[in-house]
Amino acid sequence: MFKGPKSLIRRLPGGIARLKRSLRVQLVSLVVLTLAGAICVNLYLSFRSAAAAAQLVTDRTLLASARVIAEAVHVDDSGSVQVEIPPAALEMFDTGFGDQVFYRVTTPWGNLLSGYPDLPSPPVALKGQDLIFHDQSIRALMLEHPVVGLAGDGTIAVTVGVTHGSQYAIRRQLWLSDFANELALVLLAGLVTIIGLQRGLSPILRLRDAVRQRGRDRLDPFPPSMVQTELQPLVHALNEHMESVQNQMAAQRRFVANAAHQLRTPLALIATQAAVAAREVDIRQRDEALQALQKSTRQVTRLAGQLLALSRAEPGNFRPRRDNIDLAALTRSVLEDVAEEALKRSIDLGFDNNGPVNVTGDATMLGELVVNLVDNALRYTPAGGAVTATVKSLRDMAILTVEDTGPGIPEGERTQVFERFYRVIGTQTEGSGLGLAIVREVVDSAGGTIELGDGKDGGLLVLVTLPLGP
């Protein structure tokens, strides 16, 4: 279907933009423009060289013509100076460019022997000079030549001038010859560059085709040797990215499998408890079954909430917010929410701070961080124990510590506990194994650090540092 002029005009800017982004166009343009600049300078110098060469040829011809005329000057028997202009002296300028030749021969005492009386002479002998004669630009040269028979070996002056037709023609031919050579060089360089680019880009095109031909599940690395040495860092970076994606996919699969496993058991238990409650006719036993059902439902709800919090904390899932939060006030609020539970278990819940401590981040996720730290401490602290949270600022960092009097975490397992669904061996306390994983994700996204240590009374000490806000 024929596209109208307006359609072509609308498409033209996009086509130009694509050409500007083309590596071939950029490199060929760079090479050709660089050569063109160098050739322009070279052509200017070539023009000057051609002009000098043409001028030199003209001067040599003028000198030869003047010598021929001077050789024709003689003194006759009566002592008079005579000259008969040889035709060869003028015919040597007949090069087919329509040049006019002017000459003048004068005696030592200034008498005109032959030629144009008003023809000007250059001030310096044997040196050509551009002059104006009869409104024409000419090239003239003067020769002083001794004549045998003149008193005191006197010299005659022979001036020969010629218009610039032949000189300019020689200059033009020399320059055009150089121009043709330079143009051929540019075209050859452009062709060689295009061929070189085609050969040089072929490994990249092969890499592109190899990437396109792979299935979605193929993430094995590409051999760096398939491209040139300069492009191998690109292949290494691509391989590293695919390895990162592969690890992320594997972690996601493990996460889904673990989540399904963690949800399957409480959901099956809920279904069993609901069935038991439905069959019971004894009110007391039915109430016990319903209470167990409520407890299991709370566990599932807690697990689902932690899964959602972990998904939100993962990088790239949500656009990070930049809220200004008082970490001390946030921690106090969380402690107030769990105070009733701590009181039921006779756990001493303490809080220490030295005033407002402002940080910048996602308020919801920072809340999840504090909630999970306090919840973990309460879960693993036996009745009659203590949980103490501290918030303070030191230089440009906010410091949050949560210390408990529970069993702590063995030093050899303090790295693994940040993995999802990891539970310390021998732990009897109910939990999903997601709390510290959520904390780690939130701390990393906020640009902070987290460390595990021993509490003063043998429990666990969690130390979180976050950058201070404005």
* Run means of pLDDT, 10 residues per run, the chain, 470 residues: 48 55 72 81 89 93 93 82 88 89 90 91 92 93 86 82 93 90 82 78 78 74 78 82 76 67 66 76 77 72 63 54 84 90 89 87 83 87 90 89 88 75 56 71 84 85 87
Q: Which residues pair with 466 in a beta bridge?
A: 398
Reading the block at residue 194, the tokens are 């295009």
State the amino acid at position 168 in one-letter form.
Answer: Y
Listed in sequence order, the DSSP H helices in 21-150 are: 23-71, 87-91
| Kind of pairing between the strands at 386-394 and 323-326 | unpaired
Asked whether the beta carbons of 402 and 377 are under 8 A apart, the reply is: yes
User: Minimal CA–CA distance to 81: which of 127, 59, 113?
Assistant: 113
Assess whether the region 230-311 and the region 320-467 belong to the same CATH fold.
no
Q: Which CATH superfamily is domain 320-467 in?
A: Histidine kinase-like ATPase, C-terminal domain (3.30.565.10)
Task: Using alpha carbons only, give the angle 163, 169, 175 rounded to the nearest 5 degrees.
Answer: 135
Is 283 exposed, middle or buried, given 0-12, 13-18 or 19+ CB atoms closer than 10 A?
exposed
| Kind of pairing between the strands at 386-394 and 348-353 | parallel
Domain ranges of the chain: 17-213, 230-311, 320-467
Tally Cβ neighbours within 10 Å of residue 207: 18
User: Minimal CA–CA distance to 32: which of 157, 185, 222?
Assistant: 185
Provide the pLDDT for residue 313.
54
Asked whether the beta carbons of 81 and 150 are under 8 A apart, the reply is: yes
Q: Which residues contact 80 (CB under 8 A, 6 or more apart)?
A: none
Q: Does domain 230-311 have CATH number 3.90.78.10?
A: no
**Interaxial angle between packed helices 363-380 and 327-344, expressed in degrees from 0 to 180 and rounded to the nearest 10:** 30
- SS3 (DSSP) at 393: strand
User: Minimal CA–CA distance to 58: which of 157, 137, 144, 176?
Assistant: 137
